[in-house]
Homo-oligomer: A and B are copies of this chain.
């Protein structure tokens, strides 16, 4: 049985905060900066059903007087455990290269799911991974020959700048966590 998808974890993370219907969840995605995780019913409803089949969430139909009936989902204990397992995963090089969005999502829920100490240590891992990775990108950029077109170099530079921004952000945020302790 392989792990749920990023979208599924996004759903579980939201259900961890409060029970909700598929429609609620979709509305939240659309109206929030989490739109990038899909706003389409063809993704959300099947994902919810899969999660229910695996008993990470449970649902009950609500017949509210005068209102439309809707199916309300809530996270189960098993779902919470799965969410914790996911949130506690380490920060790998591969995550940084190919799954930065998922890392950010994990972090977004971390305070609630695992507590602030975990968030701080997540940031420490991220800082150390980025500190190691960014120079290799810089080296690659510096090694690019004259034949590489300007837009190619600029494109790489934009990626590097984004990583450097993330690194600075992580250090600053970490400092906030450490001050609060």
Within 8 A of B (CB), among A124-178: 137, 140, 149-152, 154-159, 161-162, 164-166, 169-170, 173, 176-177
The distance in angstroms between the C-alpha atoms of A124 and B17, with both chains bound, is 40
Whether A107 touches B165, Cβ cut-off 8 Å, given contacts A35-B97, A35-B98, is no
Residues of B within 8 A of A21 (CB): none
The distance in angstroms between the C-alpha atoms of A110 and B149, with both chains bound, is 9
A108 within 8 A of B: yes
> Are the CB atoms of B157 and A169 closer together than 8 Å?
yes
Residues of B within 8 A of A107 (CB): 151, 154-155
A32 within 8 A of B: yes
SS of A interface (majority) = helix
- For A76-89 the 0/1 string (1 means CB < 8 A from B) is 00000000000000
Residue of B nearest to A98 (CB): B36
What size tier do the contact residues of chain A reach?
35 or more
> Are the CB atoms of A150 and B176 closer together than 8 Å?
yes
> Are the CB atoms of B32 and A155 closer together than 8 Å?
no
> Are the CB atoms of B149 and A111 closer together than 8 Å?
yes
A-B CB contact pairs (8 Å), 14 listed:
A33-B140, A35-B98, A105-B155, A107-B154, A108-B155, A108-B156, A110-B151, A111-B149, A111-B152, A116-B150, A116-B151, A154-B176, A158-B173, A161-B169
B-binding residues in A (CB < 8 A): 32-33, 35-36, 97-98, 104-105, 107-112, 116, 119, 137, 140, 149-152, 154-159, 161-162, 164-166, 169-170, 173, 176-177
- Additional pairs, 6, CB under 8 Å, beyond known A109-B152, A112-B151: A33-B137, A111-B152, A116-B150, A119-B150, A161-B166, A164-B165
